[in-house]
Amino acid sequence: MNKLAVTIADQNFSLRLKNPVITASGTFGYGLEFAPYGDLRKLGALVVKGLSLEPREGNPMPRVAETPSGMLNAVGLQNCGVEDFLRHKLPLLPSADVPVIVNLYATSGDDFASLAGILGAEPSIAALEVNISCPNVREGGAAFGQDPFSAAAVTETVRKNAGKKPVIVKLSPNVTDITEIARACEAAGATAISCINTLSGMAVDLAGRKPRLANILGGLSGPAVKPVALRCVWEVSRTVSIPVIGIGGISCAEDVLEFILVGATAVQIGTANLMQPDSAFQIIQNLPAACEKYGVTNWGDLRGKLATEPAASAF
């Protein structure tokens, strides 16, 4: 297939990608760290590490642990802060040739508004991705993304302040019904939904009788979460009419096709970048052959075309 391009758009905002492969926030640094492993301009887009208004040091060590077919992380949203990113990192990225999507997070609506205002005014940023898996400190500390009302409120706030940028809202799988949250974000003005963020988990050091992460709890990612991510993308894409970006355990071109088949318009590569730093570039290179192997001649023929029985249920 020659035409790998996809468009992430709603009625008002649009982002064109030369292929559907994006690198996921927190697994690709600020982009430049991965330039030695491939040409950044070949990516569909890149998402930078989650940015906050002020720099953050993150959680104490140890903050990553390997698990069967995956990893746990409790990095704690360490980042350089929005100002340092705009001044020292963004100018070095080839943003004219690859869309740079900035992942942002905050612990209050006001901070989300300020961040969206700063980032929305920056011409070399292509879109904003809102991480709503962070605690709402003003409302008792539950994550914004665990409640449809606060998820909608954050979406609306970012949308209002983001100028002409598409706003992608990134959902947590740690909820009872992800479609309820997706619907609320769509109604509040999200351009697209990305899912999933990591699954809450923990790992134990039996001999030491202690948790393996200093933070005790962490987020599970990697191939182990792919079935959960596929299920979420399938459910969400049948619920909303805006595009869905699939994330979770993707490590080869066939995985990309699977996510598009269940309804994704594009995908993000996360933990695979940490296992093999040129993963995203390899996946893009292998996409045309995988499309040929599975008879995919255009994305529209594959997207959401999973054959299911009419009465498909959970099991």
Of the pair 89, 209, the CB lying nearest ligand FMN is at 89
By the rule CB under 6 A, 271 interacts with ligand FMN: yes
Q: What are phi and psi of 17, to 5 degrees?
A: -115, 140
**Binding span for ligand FMN by CB under 6 A among 1-9, 25-33, 92-100, 157-165:** 25-33
Structure token pair of residue 249: 């355990």
Cβ at position 199, least distance to ligand FMN in Å:
8
**244 interacts with ligand FMN by CB under 6 A:** no
Residue from 19, 52, 103, 237 that binds ligand FMN (CB under 6 A)? 103
Task: Please identify, using beta-carbon distances, which residue of 156 and 255 lies nearer to ligand FMN.
Answer: 255
One-letter amino acid identity for 250? Answer: I
Q: What angle do CA 45, 50, 51 make, to 5 degrees?
A: 110
Give the whole-angstrom CA distance, residue 167 versus residue 184. Answer: 14
Per-residue binding letters, 69-88, with ligand FMN (x by CB under 6 A): ----x-x-x-----------
Q: Cβ 194 to ligand FMN, closest distance in Å?
A: 8
Q: What is the b/e burial string over 174-194, where b = at least 16 CB atoms within 10 angstroms of the residue's CB?
A: bbeebbebbbbbbebbbbbbb
Count of residues engaged in binding ligand FMN, rule: CB under 6 A = 25
Least Cβ distance, residue 65 to ligand FMN (angstroms): 11
CB under 8 A, 24+ apart: contacts of 280-283:
280/21, 280/23, 280/28, 280/34, 280/38, 280/43, 281/37, 281/38, 281/39, 281/42, 281/43, 283/21, 283/250, 283/251, 283/252, 283/253, 283/255, 283/256
Q: Does 99 bind ligand FMN (CB under 6 A)?
A: no
Binding string, residues 26-65; x marks residues near ligand FMN by CB under 6 A: xx---------------------xx---------------
- CB contact at 8 A, 203 and 67: yes
Candidates 40, 247, 253, 257; binder of ligand FMN (CB under 6 A) is 247
User: Which listed residue (19, 131, 237, 279) binds ligand FMN by CB under 6 A?
Assistant: 131
Does position 280 interact with ligand FMN (CB under 6 A)? The reply is no
- Work out how close the CB of 104 gets to ligand FMN at its nearest, in angstroms, rounded to a whole number: 9
Q: Is 270 in the site for ligand FMN (CB under 6 A)?
A: yes
- Smallest gap from residue 155 Cβ to ligand FMN (A): 15
Q: Which residues from 212-231 bind ligand FMN, rule CB under 6 A?
A: 221-222, 225
Q: In the structure encoding, which two tokens stand for residue 57, read together? A: 């040091």
Identify the active-site residue in 80, 134, 185, 291: 134
- Cα separation, 62 vs 80, in Å, equals 20
Binding of ligand FMN at residue 19 (CB under 6 A)? no
Sole residue written with tokens 């005014």 = 121
Binding-site member from 136, 191, 198, 237 for ligand FMN (CB under 6 A): 198
Residue 134 is a catalytic residue: yes
List, by residue number, the catalytic residues: 134
Residues forming the site for ligand FMN (CB under 6 A): 24-27, 49-50, 73, 75, 77, 103, 131, 170, 197-198, 221-222, 225, 247-250, 269-272
